[in-house]
Amino acid sequence: MSDEQGADFTKRKLWGGRFTGTTDPIMHAFNESLSYDQRMWAQDIRGSQAYARALVGCNILTPDERDTIIKGLDQVGAEWKAGKFQAEADDEDIHTANERRLKELIGPVAGKLHTGRSRNDQVATDMRLWLLDEAEALQTLLGELLHVLVARARAEVDALMPGYTHLQRAQPIRWSHLLLSHASALASDYARIRDLRPRISVLPLGSGPLAGNPFAGLDRAAIARDLGFATVGTNSMHSVSDRDFVVETLMWASLTMIHISKMAEDLIIYSSAEFGFVQLSDAYSTGSSIMPQKKNPDSLELLRGKSGRVFGQMSGFMMTLKGIPSTYNKDLQEDKEPLFDAVDTVRRSLQIATGVISTMSTFPERMRSALTPDMLATDLAEYLVRKGIPFRETHHVSGSAVRLSEERKCSLSDLTVKDLQSLHPAFEDDVLKVWSFDESVERRDATGGTSKRAVLEQCDRLEASLAK
C-alpha cells in the first residue's frame, strides 16, 4: 500500500477526516472487530432502523428519507441473511460495514443516519439486543434440561441407591432424589437468567459518544419501545461504558457450567464398571483407539472441561474491565469474544446435557445391590431417639453396634436383638424393622426429603416454577 493509498484508506474510515498519515496494516488488523462482531448484523440493522424513525422527530430526516434508509437497511440485511454481504478492507466493525454498504445502495442520504449517534452507544445497543435474544434462547434450553430431569425423576422414583458424602456410602436415597438435587441447582440458574434479563434490557442508544444527544425531539423512550427495551439508560456516560450486563452473564454462565460439571462428574463415576448404575447411550460416548472394550463418557468429560473455559472468559474480561477509566475506551472491544464464546459454549452444553440425561440407561438392580446394612446405622440411632433417648447418646450406641459387627466380621443387620440389648436396654424386637432400605427412605418424609411423597412434591414444585 502506497502512502497516498494509505492516506485515502484512513480517510474512508468513519474517523478518518482528522488524520493525514497512513494506518499500519497490522494496526488495522489489530483494531478491527468485524471478523467476530458481524454476528450482530441483524441487531445493528434493527437499531439503525429504530434510530432512523426517531430522527424524524428531530427534523433530521424527512419521512421519505427515513423510508429510504429503512428500505436500504432491509437490503443490507437481506445480503447478510443470504450470505452475500461483501466486506471490504476498511470495514472495521459491523457498524462501519453496514453504513458503508447502505451508502452504496441509497447514496449520500445514508450519511444522515449517524447524526447524534456514536459507535459507543451503537455497539452497546447492539450487544444488549443480541444478548436479549440469546438469553431467551438459553433460558428455553435450560428449561428443557430441567423438564427432562424432572420427567426422569418421576419415571424412576422407585429406584433406590446409596447416597454419598465424601464419596463414602452414607444413607439410602432415591435415584430421583439425586437427579432432583442437580435440577434444584439448575432451577436457581433458571431463575437467575430470568432475573438478569431486565438488567440487559436497558437502552443506551441516544447517549452519543458520552455526553448525550444534542438534538431536540429525540424520544429515547419511543426508541426503547420500538426495540423492545424495558428501560432507558439514565446517565449517558454510564450507558456507553457499562458492561456489567456482560459480567453478570459471564458469571451466570460460569455458575451454570459449574452445576452442569458437577452433574457430569456424578454420572461419570456412576457409569464406571465399579458402580454400573448408569450407562450412556452410544450417541454420547466414544471408544478407545487401542482398547476395543472401552466406552468412554466423553460427552460428560467435555461438559466438565468446558466449565473451566467459561470461567476463564469471565475472569479474563473482569481483569480487562477493572482498570478502565470513564467512559468508553477501546479495551471494551474485548467484551465481545468472551461473551460470544461463553454463550455458544453454554448453549451447546445445555443441549448435550439434555441429550445425555434423556437417553442414558439406568440399572436399578445395581443401585439397590450397592446398599449395605451399615448405611442404616443412623436409622438404628433414630430408633432409640423414638424411645425418648437423646440423639448424642444413641449415636454412641449405634457406633458401638457398628464396632461390634466389625469385630464379629458380620453385617450390622446380623446382630441379634440380644446383641443390641447388650449395648442398650431400650432395644426391643421391633428393632428388626430398622433393616429395611425402603422404610428408611420413606421415613425421610419432611419437605425436601427422599421419601416418595417428598420427591414427587419436589417434581411438582420444579414444574410449577418452570410454568411461571
pTM of the predicted structure, to 2 decimals: 0.91
Percent of the chain with pLDDT over 90: 89
Instruction: Write the pLDDT tens digit of every residue in 238-283.
Output: 999 999 999 999 999 999 999 999 999 999 999 999 999 999 999 9
Question: Which string of DSSP letters, residue by residue, matches 34-58?
Answer: HHHHGGGHHHHHHHHHHHHHHHHTT
Angstrom distance (rounded) from CA 132 to CA 126:
10
Task: Say which range, 10-19, 65-74, 133-142, 227-236, has the weakest mean pLDDT.
Answer: 10-19
Instruction: Write the pLDDT tens digit of every residue in 282-320.
Output: 999 876 656 656 688 999 999 999 999 999 999 999 999
The pLDDT of residue 289 is 57
The pLDDT of residue 285 is 86
- Please say if the pLDDT value at position 7 is more than 60: no
The answer to whether residue 315 is catalytic is no
Q: Which domains does the chain have, with CATH numbers?
A: 32-115 (1.10.275.10), 120-209+228-369 (1.20.200.10), 373-467 (1.10.40.30)
Unique residue bearing C-alpha cell 476395543: 292
Q: Among candidates 170, 87, 80, which has minimal Cα distance to 450?
A: 170
The answer to whether residue 166 is catalytic is yes
Q: Among candidates 311, 339, 343, 335, which has minimal Cα distance to 137?
A: 343
- Please say if the pLDDT value at position 22 is more than 80: no
The pLDDT of residue 346 is 98
- Please say if the pLDDT value at position 10 is more than 50: no
**Average pLDDT estimate for 81-110:** 95
- Please say if the pLDDT value at position 327 is more than 80: yes
Find the helix or strand (DSSP H, E) in which 232 lies.
Answer: strand 231-232
The pLDDT of residue 29 is 83
Mean pLDDT of the chain: 93
The pLDDT of residue 18 is 54
The pLDDT of residue 468 is 79
Q: One of 35, 288, 361, 369 is an active-site residue; which one?
A: 288
Instruction: Write the pLDDT tens digit of every residue in 104-159.
Output: 999 999 999 999 999 999 999 999 999 999 999 999 999 999 999 999 999 999 99
Taking phi over 0 as left and psi of -120 to 50 as alpha, with beta for the rest, 23 belongs to: beta
Task: Say which range, 54-58, 78-82, 398-402, 464-468, has the weakest mean pLDDT.
Answer: 464-468
- Please say if the pLDDT value at position 431 is more than 90: yes
Determine contact, residues 236/210, Cβ cutoff 8 Å: yes
Peptide bond into 320 cis (omega under 30): no
The pLDDT of residue 158 is 98
The HSE-up count of residue 266 (CA atoms within 13 Å, CB side) is 19
Predicted confidence band of residue 77 (pLDDT cuts 50, 70, 90): very high
Predicted confidence band of residue 4 (pLDDT cuts 50, 70, 90): very low
